[in-house]
Copies of this chain bind each other. A is one copy, B any other.
Amino acid sequence: MEFRVLKRCKSNNARFGEIVTDHGRLETPVFMPVGTSGAIKGISPGEAKDIGVEIVLANTYHLYLRPGHKLIENIGGLHRFMNWSGPILTDSGGFQVYSLSKLRTISPEGVTFRSHLDGSTHFLGPEKVMEIQRSLGADIIMTFDECTPSGAEHDYVRASVKLTEQWARQCLEEGKKNGQALFGIVQGGVYPELREMSAKGLVSMGFDGYALGGLSVGEDKHTRERVIKATMEFLPEEKPIYLMGVGTPEDIIESVKMGVDMFDCVLPTRNARNGMLFTNKGKLVIKNARYAQDSSPIEEGCGCYTCSHYSRAYLRHLFLSKEILSFRLNTIHNLYYYTHFMKEIRQAIRDDRLAEFSHGFYRREIKSL
């Protein structure tokens, strides 16, 4: 994997760049839709491509439990299994172990936990997680980490950062597959000095990229931005920076200004399935009665397949009828919104007018309230 910064903003830390993988090139800042179980919920890989999706995130935890990484490896790897020939990133499972599993026990070796599917007992540690990620064969893979909850106390988080650092080293030693890039995950909760410690520790080992984990887990927006800023200082400029699990368009634009290059979040896809659609004038709840007779598209001027072919009235009808097509058309629109939003951000950075773009974005948002 190669990463190059092609342009930097003058007024903030935002940057436009490119990542080149064995499965293609993508431009940053980039948003990665979530394909938890090897499928972006609601759409096909062909649609993802048409929308402009450049890289898909899949979950190590989920694919390990079902259908199993060895099975996927035998079929020819995750790209082939899910029929997506573009870049893929797999997370390490750390976040899912903490948020989905019951009865987890952490030891220096890793985590013993119960599957959320059938309650069966499993163990994930740095060695296992690297084995799984080599089998899946994603282009970018992640170190195993402990994701501490937002309320965790300083002492606990400090010990946890040490553990995450040790696991990161083991992941590095365990080794990736040819062509894979391994990112280290910075933890440290809401404590700037622990974030610094975590970042410095990882950077000294030398990863292909760095992720900020343990955010968007309940902390407030102000705290999050403070933590991101504090962490960014200690990460190398020449490596891609990935903010895990973030977020809203607002969160993304603010983080881009601080230098973040990569994002993932279930928001556009999950909201789509709940009938909540992103527009430049704010969120549109498709089941609302006011759209019953509305023959206009979700958003006038939107270039997505859904807006080009369907009325709000039809989309409302599909949603109320629980038609499968509802999830799909809504997902196409929301992912197009996100992908297009990232494209606009990249163009704004290239044109040295990100601040202007950002002002315009907030003006539109305020107007619509």
Residue numbers of A with Cβ under 8 A of B are: 37-39, 41-44, 66-67, 71, 74-76, 81-83, 292-293, 295, 309-311, 313-314, 316-318, 320-321, 323-325, 327-328
Contact = CB atoms under 8 A, between A and B. Distances in A.
- Count this chain's copies in the assembly: 2
Contact of A38 (B66, B71, B317): B317
6 contacts: A39-B318, A41-B324, A41-B325, A71-B293, A74-B295, A82-B314
A42 to B, nearest CB: 5
Contacts of A320: 66-67
Nearest to A329: B44
Contacts of A324: 41-42, 324, 327-328
A83 B314 CA distance: 9
Nearest to A314: B81
A42 B317 CA distance: 15
B67 A317 contact: yes
Given A75-B314, A313-B81, A314-B81, A323 B293 contact: no
A342 B332 CA distance: 33
Contact of A292 (B38, B67, B321, B327): B67
Contacts of A313: 67, 71, 75, 81
Contacts of A37: 317-318, 321, 323
A292 B323 contact: no
A115 to B, nearest CB: 13
Given A313-B75, A317-B37, A318-B39, A44 B323 contact: no
Given A39-B318, A39-B323, 18 more contacts: A37-B317, A37-B318, A38-B314, A38-B317, A39-B321, A41-B323, A41-B324, A44-B325, A66-B321, A67-B292, A67-B316, A67-B320, A71-B313, A74-B295, A75-B313, A83-B309, A83-B310, A324-B327
A116 B290 CA distance: 24
Contacts of A38: 314, 317
Closest 4 CB pairs of A and B: A67-B317, A37-B321, A39-B325, A83-B309
Contacts of A293: 71, 74-75
A318 B324 CA distance: 15
Contacts of A42: 324-325
Nearest to A273: B324
A85 to B, nearest CB: 11
